[in-house]
Amino acid sequence: MFACAEGTPFPDDFLFGVASSAHQTEGGNTASDWWRLEHRPGTPLAEPSGDAADSYHRWPVDMDLLAELGFTDYRFGIEWARIEPEPGRFSRAALAHYRRMVEGAVERGLRPMVTLLHHTVPRWFAERGGWTAPDAADRFARYATVAAPVLGDGVRHVCTIAEANLLAARSTPEPFPQGTGFPLPATGATEALIESHRAAVAAVKAVSPAIRSGWSVAVQGYQPASGTGQHAAAYRRPREDVFIEAARADDWIGVQAGSRTRVGPLGPLPVPPAAETTLTGEEYYPAALGRALRHTAALVDTPIIVTGHGIATREDHRRVAYTHRALQDLARALADGLDIRGYLHRSALDGYEWGSHRPAFGLIAVEPHSFLRVPKPSAHWLGRIARSRRLPDPRPPAQDD
């Protein structure tokens, strides 16, 4: 029997680190569609992103902490809206900034995974119809071509589009109401995103054929209510499975998982009243990652990287318990022969969660006025696992760690 606590389940070349999203941590992303939504009269969002965690300026501090904690890999994003704030006008300063981030990660012993797009797009792109515009893929391919030199030496993995299925479901940058499930992707959006992804892969490979490229899918853990398996499968397919299957020819596919969605004949069901929930209202469900990995592996033979996994909670011991269970399931999947190449925890920092600063996903707390970074006990705990490649017993770390 596979013993997670005593074996060494994670190979030496396994990616073990953390992830962040540019808009959620950088601050001041004024040319993006989300910034416009945040400041629109009558916006449904509780608060704007503002300075977020000010990582646009403080990224060296963030990377120093991650390296000191023991992580070997860092997925971070670059912002299309900063690089191309107006159609056809590209910022050399923004390109140089992101190249410095790549170089800074390598200097600190962090292997960078660069995400070209994570939900946000330039305001001008959204105003032209976003992913439903007829030339959406061409516009994204142009951006990817211009941004590709940022990668250059030092980048082994590129994520073209993060959580592509969520992006398809958002024809506009509006938050999803809790408990409603994902809307169906807008007409043409799925096809445009798949085309955009493939064009971006070609642009990246033109810079360096050795770069391993893929995209990530938010695997929602759709489960049938009693006797309604066909409803869950039918609901899941256009919102998830088509995006997983589109990755068959890629170097890897990213899986992002956090909870589950129970589906009945009329659609998604609410979280059970007695269930523990997170700060985003999702069910606390540690088995989500293992189920997502096995579902993905059943659809495609593409190597898997966990590109985002975590929960929103201010009770750090619950983060540790949740993550430990997920890593046990991941280790069992490895032992069963699933081709899993890495685990990146979401997220490195507490940041802006698409409408509110309240949800706390980070391993590192950020004081909102001074921007002081304070690693949580979970950061030290997970850093030790990353450094040793060994899974410890499930006891929570000491609070003064």
Question: What is the CA 35 to chain-centroid distance, rounded?
Answer: 19
Helix (H/G/I), strand (E/B), else coil: 250: coil
Amino acid at 316: D
- Say what the pTM is: 0.95
What is the pLDDT at residue 226? 77
* Tokens encoding 278: 């997170």
pLDDT at 147 over 70: yes
Instruction: Render the burial of 307-321: b for 16+ CB within 10 Å, e for the rest.
Output: bbbbbbbeebebbbb
Question: What fold is seen in the domain 15-388?
Answer: TIM Barrel (3.20.20)
Q: What does the chain come to in residues?
A: 401
Percent of residues, the chain, with pLDDT higher than 90? 87
Angle between helices 189-207 and 136-147 in degrees, nearest 10:
20
What is the pLDDT at residue 179? 56
CA 170/CA 45 separation, integer angstroms: 15
CA 230/CA 51 separation, integer angstroms: 45
Integer-rounded Cα Rg, in Å, for the chain is 20
pLDDT digits 0-9 by tens, 220-270: 999 998 776 888 999 999 999 999 999 999 999 999 999 999 999 888 999
- Residue 315 — φ and ψ, nearest 5°? -100, 90
pLDDT digits 0-9 by tens, 91-130: 999 999 999 999 999 999 999 999 999 999 999 999 999 9
Nearest residue to 352 (alpha-carbon basis) of 62, 51, 8: 51
pLDDT digits 0-9 by tens, 173-231: 777 665 557 788 888 999 999 999 999 999 999 989 999 999 999 999 999 987 768 88
Q: Domain spans of the chain? A: 15-388
CA atoms within 13 A on the CB side of 332: 14
